[in-house]
Structure 1
């Protein structure tokens, strides 16, 4: 079983999700996505697996979202993906990937759905 968690150690939900994985005995690859953002391909695969559009995976309350005018409905999916790559803080967290299945750990207990 291959498990990755796109993790922000400053986020309580992310820490709780990682703790659940550890309690379940899962040795997940921890990716601190603020330091090591996903590639365009990885982000696109995550969106496809979640069945989401880019804006749905964005933290719309972040200052970067407002400052960059990302609430503009005329922006394309590619422009929104690029914004997440340029400003990884905009990516909702935590994201857990297991063998092609993806969940957002909100609430953290959702991670149990793919284990």
Structure 2
């Protein structure tokens, strides 16, 4: 099974996810937004599972740093543009495994996701 985890290396949620994966013996590929960015096709694929609104981390510093004009009137195409320009807006981690998708870190959800 192929597992890819997307995020930013120094994020606390990512560190917890990396630790969980290591302890569980799950092999994975890491896609670092800071080095590799993200493309619109990937965001659209994820949005098909979750809706584009759930991709955006509205609790993070990057979201809080956006202007009120950027936050209001947010629509799908504009959201993709913002996430491509500022990948730290994307909720972390995003985990893809054999066509399945999970967002955010929670040990119980990771157990369920990886032990299906």
Q: Is residue 4 from structure 1 mapped to residue 17 from structure 2 by the alignment?
A: no
Residue 94 (structure 2) aligns with: 95
Q: CA deviation at 1:57?
A: 1.6
> Is the Cα–Cα contact under 8 Å of residues 62 and 88 in structure 2 kept in the other structure?
no
Matches of 2:70 and 2:109 in 1, distance apart?
Answer: 28
Q: CA deviation at 1:68?
A: 6.9
Unaligned runs of 5+ in 1: none
User: TM-score normalised to the size of structure 1?
Assistant: 0.83
TM-score, scaled to structure 2: 0.82
Deviation of 1:2 (Å): 0.4
Give runs of ≥4 in structure 1 deviating > 3 Å. none
Unaligned runs of 5+ in 2: none
Q: Supply the RMSD in Å over aligned alpha carbons.
A: 1.9
When the two structures are aligned, how many residues end up with a matched partner?
Answer: 112
Aligned to 1:111: 110
Deviation at 1:108, TM superposition (A): 4.3
Q: Following TM superposition, by how much is the alpha carbon of 1:70 offset from its aligned partner in structure 2, in angstroms?
A: 2.8
